[in-house]
C-alpha cells in the first residue's frame, strides 16, 4: 500500500510541475505585455533601447524560472521518494533504517573528468545524482536516411535510504514512449527501475539494478575496480544481465587512461560480450584523445572498430526468406571528431560530430555522417 501511495503521489508531483509552469508562463507573458505597452508611450531612442532590454531580461527570467522550478521539483521528488523508502525500510525491519557506512560519491570524484563533461555512458552508469536530461538528436548519413530523435533519461538519487539507491529511466524517446507496457520487439522499450550501490568490498565497487523493460522484468549487476600503475588508470568492468525477454547477456569492458599533455586525456577502450539470443561473441575497441582548451569546450577524436565471431550478414535484405551468413571479423570501423560546448546556461550543451565509417553492409565503402544534439539538464548535474 505504501508503494502504491508513493507511485500515486509521484505522478501528482510531475503533474504539479506543468501546473506551476503554466502559472509562470501567464505571469511572465503579462509582464512582457506590460513592458511592451509602457514602451509604446515613449518615443526617444533611449526608451526604445530600454524596451528591448526589458524584453530580453523578461525572456531570460522566464527561462531561468522554468529551469529552476523544474529542477526544484526533481530534487523534491527525489527527497520525497527517499523519505518514503526509509519509512518502508523502518516498517519492514522494525527499527531505524540508517546507514552505518557511506559510499564514495563517484560523481564527485569524476566531476572534473572528461566523462562528466561529455556525459557518456561510463559516467551515467556511475553517477549518483538526481537529474532529468533531455536530448534532441539529429543524424545525417551519406548512405542511409537521416534520423531524428528525442531521448529522455532520469535518475533520482535516494540519499537517506543508505545513500545507495537510485531510481532510473533509460532510453525513453518519442518512438518507444508507448512501449513502456508493450510486447512489441521492433523497438527497444525504455528501462524503468532502481539501482542499488553496494559497499565497496576488497576494492570492488558493485551496483545492482532491478526493473522492467516494456513488460519484461530484468536484473543487472555491474562490478568495477581500478588500478593506478604509474601515470595510467586501468578500470575493468564486468556487467551481467538477465531478463525474461533477452534471457542472459554479459559483457566485459576495459578502460585504460593516461594524461598526455595539460588538459588532455588518452583512452584505450576494449570490450567483449555475449547474448544468449545472438550467436557468437561481439567485440569493440577504440582509441580516443580528449582535449579541453577551455572549461566550456571539449574536443574528442576517436578511431573505433567493431567485430563479431558470428556476425549475421545478408547480401540481399529484400530476399524472401532472408538468408543470413555468418561472418567472423571486423564488420565496421571508422573515425569521428566531436566538439562539445557548454553555452548560454550551465545546464545547456551542444555537440557536433562529423565522421566517416566503413561498414560491411555497404561493402566497406565510406559512409559520411554528421550528428548534432543538445543536452538539457534539470536537477543536480
Half-sphere exposure at residue 207, Cβ-oriented, CA atoms within 13 angstroms: 24
CA end-to-end distance (rounded Å), the chain:
32
SS3 179: helix
Distance from C-alpha of 189 to C-alpha of 260, rounded to nearest angstrom: 40
pLDDT in tens, 140-190: 999 999 999 998 887 776 655 544 566 666 655 555 444 444 444 444 678
**Same-domain pairing of 140 and 252:** yes
The pLDDT assigned to 309 comes to 94
pLDDT, greater one: 107 or 374: 374
- The predicted-structure confidence for 249-260, as pLDDT tens digits, reads as follows 999 999 999 988
Nearest to 357 by CA among 343, 368, 346, 371: 368
Task: Return all residues near 81 (Cβ < 8 A) that are at least 6 apart.
Answer: 6, 10, 156, 158, 167
**What CATH number does the domain containing 171 carry?**
2.40.160.40
Alpha-carbon Rg for the chain, nearest whole angstrom, is 24
Taking alpha carbons only, the member of 75, 74, 68, 61 closest to residue 29 is 61
Same domain, 37 and 181: no
Condensed to tens digits (0 to 9), the pLDDT of residues 32-48 reads: 445 444 444 444 444 44
Q: What is the pLDDT of residues 209-230, one digit of tens each?
A: 999 988 889 999 999 999 999 8
Q: Per-residue confidence at 314, pLDDT binned at 50, 70, 90?
A: confident
- pLDDT the model gives residue 263: 81
**pLDDT at residue 111 above 80?**
no
Same domain, 124 and 231: yes
Same domain, 221 and 363: yes
Q: Which residue has the higher pLDDT, 234 or 111?
A: 234
Residue 88 covered by a domain: yes
Extract the C-alpha cell encoding 15.
503533474
| Residue 86 domain boundaries | 2-93
Do 257 and 213 sit in the same domain of this protein? yes
Give CA–CA dist 314/350, Å, rounded: 37
The answer to whether the CB of 65 falls within 8 A of the CB of 71 is: no
- Choose between 313 and 9: higher pLDDT: 313
Among 72, 93, 114, where does a domain finish?
A: 93
In whole angstroms, what is the distance from residue 5 CA to residue 82 CA? 14
Q: What are phi and psi of 229, to 5 degrees?
A: -80, 105
The answer to whether the beta carbons of residues 374 and 348 sit under 8 Å apart is yes
Q: Which three cell numbers stand for residue 342?
A: 557548454
Domain end call among 59, 93, 127: 93
pLDDT(96) > 50: no
Distance CA 141, CA 191 (A): 28
Burial class of residue 349, CB neighbours in 10 A (0-12, 13-18, 19+)? buried
The helix/strand/coil state of 220 is strand
Q: Is residue 171 part of a domain?
A: yes
Bond preceding residue 321 cis, omega within 30 of 0 = yes
Q: Are residues 131 and 79 in the same domain?
A: no
* pLDDT tier for residue 319 given thresholds of 50, 70 and 90: low
Tell me, yes or no, whether 180 and 266 share the same domain.
yes
Q: Give the residue with greater pLDDT, 196 vs 373.
A: 373
Lowest mean pLDDT among 22-31, 187-196, 229-238: 22-31
Do 149 and 281 share a domain, yes or no? Answer: yes
Question: At residue 40, what are phi and psi to the nearest 5 degrees?
Answer: -70, -20
Residue 237 confidence class, pLDDT cut points 50, 70, 90: very high
Q: Share the mean pLDDT of the chain.
A: 74
| C-alpha cell read off for 71 | 529542477
- Number of neighbours of residue 221 by Cβ within 10 angstroms: 16
The answer to whether position 101 is within a domain reads: no
pLDDT higher than 80, residue 357: yes
For 29-86, how does the pLDDT look when each residue is reduced to its tens digit (9 = 90+)? 454 445 444 444 444 444 444 444 445 455 557 777 777 788 777 777 666 666 665 5
Exposed, middle or buried: residue 101 (CB in 10 Å: 0-12, 13-18, 19+)? exposed
pLDDT number for residue 60: 57
**Cα–Cα dist 325/314, whole Å:** 6
Domain boundary pick from 93, 128, 154:
93
**Residue 176 confidence (pLDDT):** 47
- What gap in Å lies between CA 103 and CA 217, rounded to an integer? 27
Q: Kindly report the number of other CB atoms within 10 A of residue 189's CB atom.
A: 23
- DSSP codes, 275-340: ETTEEEEEEEEEEEEEEEEETTEEEEEEEEEEEEEEEEE-S-TT-SS---EEEEEEEEEEEEEEEE
Q: What is the pLDDT of residue 169?
A: 64
Does the residue 53 lie in any domain?
yes
pLDDT average, residue stretch 305-316: 86
Q: Is the pLDDT of residue 268 over 60?
A: yes
pTM above 0.75, yes or no: no
Q: Judge if 51 and 114 occupy the same domain.
A: no
Q: How many domains does the chain have?
A: 2
Residue 100 lies in a domain: no
Amino acid at each position: 500500500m505504501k508503494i502504491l501511495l508513493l507511485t500515486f503521489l509521484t505522478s501528482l508531483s510531475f503533474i504539479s510541475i506543468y501546473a506551476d509552469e503554466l502559472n509562470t508562463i501567464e505571469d511572465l507573458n503579462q509582464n512582457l505585455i506590460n513592458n511592451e505597452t509602457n514602451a509604446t508611450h515613449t518615443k526617444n531612442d533611449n526608451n526604445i533601447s530600454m524596451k528591448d532590454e526589458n524584453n530580453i531580461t523578461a525572456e531570460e527570467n522566464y527561462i531561468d524560472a522554468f529551469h529552476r522550478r523544474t529542477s526544484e521539483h526533481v530534487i523534491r521528488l527525489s527527497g520525497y521518494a527517499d523519505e518514503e523508502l526509509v519509512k518502508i525500510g523502518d516498517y519492514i525491519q522494525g527499527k531505524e533504517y540508517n546507514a552505518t557506512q557511506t559510499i564514495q560519491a563517484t560523481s564527485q570524484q569524476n566531476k572534473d573528468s572528461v566523462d562528466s563533461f561529455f556525459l557518456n555512458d561510463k559516467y551515467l552508469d556511475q553517477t549518483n545524482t538526481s537529474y532529468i536530461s533531455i536530448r534532441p538528436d539529429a543524424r545525417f548519413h551519406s548512405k542511409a536516411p537521416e534520423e531524428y530523435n528525442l531521448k529522455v533519461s532520469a535518475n533520482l538519487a535516494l540519499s537517506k535510504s543508505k545513500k545507495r539507491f537510485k531510481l532510473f529511466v533509460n532510453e525513453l524517446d518519442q518512438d518507444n514512449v508507448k512501449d513502456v507496457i508493450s510486447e512489441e520487439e521492433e523497438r527497444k522499450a525504455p528501462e524503468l527501475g532502481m539501482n542499488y550501490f553496494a559497499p565497496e568490498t576488497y576494492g570492488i565497487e558493485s551496483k545492482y539494478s532491478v526493473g522492467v523493460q516494456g513488460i519484461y522484468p530484468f536484473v543487472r549487476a555491474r562490478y568495477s575496480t581500478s588500478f593506478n600503475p604509474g601515470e595510467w588508470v586501468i578500470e575493468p568492468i564486468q556487467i551481467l544481465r538477465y531478463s525474461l525477454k533477452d534471457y542472459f547477456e554479459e559483457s566485459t569492458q576495459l578502460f585504460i587512461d593516461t594524461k598526455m599533455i595539460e588538459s588532455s586525456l588518452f583512452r584505450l577502450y576494449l570490450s567483449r560480450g555475449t547474448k544468449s539470443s545472438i550467436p557468437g561473441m561481439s567485440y569493440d575497441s577504440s582509441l580516443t584523445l580528449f582535449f579541453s582548451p577551455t572549461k566550456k569546450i571539449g574536443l574528442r577524436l576517436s578511431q573505433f572498430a567493431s567485430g563479431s565471431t558470428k556476425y549475421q550478414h545478408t547480401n540481399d535484405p529484400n530476399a524472401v526468406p532472408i538468408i543470413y551468413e555468418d561472418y567472423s571479423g571486423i564488420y565496421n570501423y571508422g573515425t569521428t571528431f566531436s566538439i562539445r560546448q557548454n553555452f548560454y546556461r550551465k545546464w545547456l550543451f551542444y555537440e557536433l560530430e562529423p565522421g566517416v565509417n566503413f561498414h560491411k553492409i555497404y561493402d566497406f565503402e565510406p559512409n559520411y555522417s554528421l550528428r548534432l544534439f543538445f543536452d538539457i539538464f534539470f536537477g543536480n548535474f
